Amino acid sequence: MVNYEYTEVNRLEKPHNYMYTSYFGVDFFRSYFDNRLKNIEKFKARKDIQNTETIDTYFCTASTLKLEIGQKLLPFNFKESIENIISFNLKNRIFTEKLLTSLLVSQLNNKNKKLIKEWLDLLVQRFEVTKKIYEIYLVGFRKGSGDSGVVRLYWIFALSLALYYAETKNIKYLNTLLKVNDLLCSLDNDLMRKIPTQGLVLVLSVEVEGVQLLAKNLEGVSFVFK
């Protein structure tokens, strides 16, 4: 069986550049689907999940409802203040967590679509070039600063990509989602103790469904993935 090498080692420590990857035929899909199934099971089997952030649980539920029945944002009342996406400006230093939560709320609300794409594209560009998401981006959003190992940021980014791909079907975002999910799947469970299981399963499910849909007419690629 073909090896799915993209999650084999910690991709925060050893990023993959995905350049000139080899072709393995239909068998590659078998190893890909197998990998994702194993990781969903791995996430579900986690026993040491710590208290997840209320807002993250909320994001999971709201995203699931949006993806499944198209429901808009549920009412919420958090102690954390979520900034409006219009308040972010490239002339300022950007705190990625604030940007990502604001982006998600806008996506769940179906508001500010132009700004959603602009900011998501900037994040995609930064991730694709460096394979990292930094805690802070300096003025101009080119140079990252602070910790680039905050797993929660990668997960929220994956959720944002999943929502955007589900809405637009633009494979550019599925492409980055695949890479961010490779990274998440490459990490040990203990690095993801604060991320809700439902949230990890959700980002992988959207990705796999997207791939299945694109592969539905391909000879030999008909894997049942529940």
Partner 1 sequence: MYLLYLNKIGMVAADTTRTKYYLNELIRNNLFPAYVLLLLNCDAKSLPGQDGAGSEKELIKLLKSSGIKYDIAPNSDINSNEVLKVISNKVETVFIFSGFGGVLLGDNILNSGKKFLHIHGGYLPDYKGSTAIYYSLINENTIGASSMFLTKEIDCGPVLLRKKFLPPKNRLEIDHIYDSEARAKVLIETLECYVESGSFNFELENNKGGETFYIIHPVLKHLSILQGEVK
Backbone angles phi and psi of 95, in degrees to 5: -90, 115
Q: CB of 182 within 8 A of CB of 7? A: yes
When binding is defined by CB under 8 A, the residue of 75, 188, 219, 226 that contacts partner 1 is: 219
Is 178 among the residues that bind partner 1 (CB under 8 A)?
yes
Single out the residue of 102, 145, 93 nearest to residue 120, CA to CA: 102
Single out the residue of 117, 104, 154 nearest to residue 132, CA to CA: 154
The minimum distance between CB 64 and partner 1, in angstroms, equals 23
Q: Which is nearer to partner 1, 57 or 175 (CB)?
A: 175
Is 25 among the residues that bind partner 1 (CB under 8 A)?
yes
* Cα–Cα distance list, 165 to 91, 105, 115, 171 (Å): 28, 16, 16, 7
| Choices 94-102, 118-126, 159-167, 194-202; region in contact with partner 1 by CB under 8 A | 118-126
| Choices 19-27, 67-75, 88-96, 97-105; region in contact with partner 1 by CB under 8 A | 19-27
Hey, which residues between 53 and 92 contact partner 1 (CB under 8 A)? Answer: none
Is 18 among the residues that bind partner 1 (CB under 8 A)?
yes
- Helices marked H in 45-196 — which ranges? 54-69, 96-109, 113-130, 151-168, 171-185
Going residue by residue from 121 to 160, which x/- string records binding to partner 1, judged by CB under 8 A? x--xx--x--------------------------------
When binding is defined by CB under 8 A, the residue of 21, 54, 71, 145 that contacts partner 1 is: 21
Residue 33 half-sphere exposure, CB side, CA atoms within 13 Å? 15
Kind of pairing, strands 94-95 and 136-137?
antiparallel
> In sequence order, what DSSP letters do the residues of 158-211 get, joined into one string?
HHHHHHHHHHH--HHHHHHHHHHHHHHHTS-GGGGTTS-HHHHHHHHHHHHHHH
Is 30 among the residues that bind partner 1 (CB under 8 A)?
no
When binding is defined by CB under 8 A, the residue of 87, 92, 145, 170 that contacts partner 1 is: 170
| Choices 25-33, 62-70, 84-92, 195-203; region in contact with partner 1 by CB under 8 A | 25-33
Q: Which residues bind partner 1 (CB under 8 A)?
A: 6, 17-21, 23-26, 28-29, 32, 121, 124-125, 128, 170-172, 174-176, 178-179, 182, 211, 214-215, 217-219, 221
